[in-house]
Amino acid sequence: MAARKGLSKKTRFEVFKRDSFTCQYCGRMAPDVILEVDHINPVANSGDNNIMNLVTSCYDCNRGKGKRQLSENDEIKKQQEQLKELNLKREQLKMLVDWKKELSNFEDEQVDVISNLLKEATGFNLSDVGKSKFKKEIKRFGISEVIESTNLSISQYYDGTNESVKKVVDYIPRICTVREQTVSNPFYSKVKYIFAILKRRFYYFRYKKSDTNKLLLFMQNEAAFKVLKDLAGEVKHPNEFWDLLDEWIAEMGGGK
């Protein structure tokens, strides 16, 4: 009689995963039953521990107490099914690996497009850290939007100095965000315009996201935009701007 060799935990786990943690004799699953690994061709008949000769079995079926046992034909059929399944899994794994590799290459190519745009305009390439950052921006906004925002940032902020190159790169994600939000709310860009007026008049002017939402709440049409634009150009202090805006919003019923 052949000596039984113990199965490692790793082998047992691989068999359980392959069989979806389901007894292949009766169909019961964990945790309803205790699962074990059975030899299709018994060790007594020179069966080995090759994973193709192993099958998931519940405690009862493994001891001959279950609904049925595998016949010789069942053994052959089971091995054929396992071989077919294994080959399919190998093919799909290879396709997955190839797809991941192609995806990674494609992401690199997209980042290179942005890096080349910057180099042609400024003479500077993106660093490895910069490329990693822009991969995330491309995933978020899409390559077309990042290209458009890169061109806009270059035209607005590059003045031929090394310092302006950093500003160009830093502002690309911001431009992407503004353009995205403008699509969802066409008045978003007008809010930025009003803030620009206030920042130009008051160097200490700062605003929060909640301030943006406040302006959007009031600015429902072009007339409201003109009112706020005029107000931003006339107030003597930013606090005067916010106080009047709060009063108007309250009159609209938005302050409740």
Tens-digit pLDDT profile for residues 2-13: 445 678 888 888
Q: What CATH number is attached to the domain comprising 22?
A: 1.10.30.50
Same domain, 22 and 56: yes
In contact, 218 and 228? CB cutoff 8 Å: yes
Amino acid 228 reads L
Q: How far apart are CA 182 and CA 193, in angstroms?
A: 12
Q: How far apart are CA 33 and CA 31, in angstroms?
A: 5
Classify residue 20 by its DSSP letter.
T
CA gap 178, 195 in Å, rounded? 13
Claim to verify: residue 62 and residue 126 sit in the same structural domain: no
Confidence of residue 255 (pLDDT cuts 50, 70, 90): very low
In the chain, what percentage of residues exceed pLDDT 70?
A: 86
- Are both 167 and 241 inside the same structural domain? no
The answer to whether the predicted template modeling score (pTM) of the entire model surpasses 0.75 is: no
Distance CA 158, CA 241 (A): 33
Q: At what angle do helices 209-218 and 222-234 cross, to 10 degrees?
A: 130
- Structural domain contains residue 45: yes
Confidence at 30, pLDDT banded by 50, 70, 90: confident
pLDDT tens readout for residues 128-142? 999 999 999 999 999
The end-to-end CA distance of the chain, in Å, is: 86
DSSP 8-state secondary structure symbol assigned to residue 42 = -
Same domain, yes or no: 168 and 192:
no
Structural domain total, the chain = 3
pLDDT tens readout for residues 143-171: 999 999 999 999 989 999 999 999 999 99
Structural domain including 14 reads 9-70
Residue 70 confidence class, pLDDT cut points 50, 70, 90: low
Average pLDDT over residues 203-208: 89
Tell whether 195 and 252 lie within a shared domain.
yes
Asked whether the beta carbons of 142 and 119 are under 8 A apart, the reply is no
Q: Which residues contact 28 (CB under 8 A, 6 or more apart)?
A: 22, 58
Largest CA distance in the chain: 100
Position 243 confidence tier, pLDDT thresholds 50, 70, 90? very high
Torsion of CA 146, 148, 153, 156, to 10 degrees: -170
Q: For 84-139, write each residue's pLDDT tens digit.
A: 777 766 676 677 777 788 888 999 999 999 999 999 999 999 999 999 999 999 99
1 domain-assigned: no
Element (H, E) at 70: none
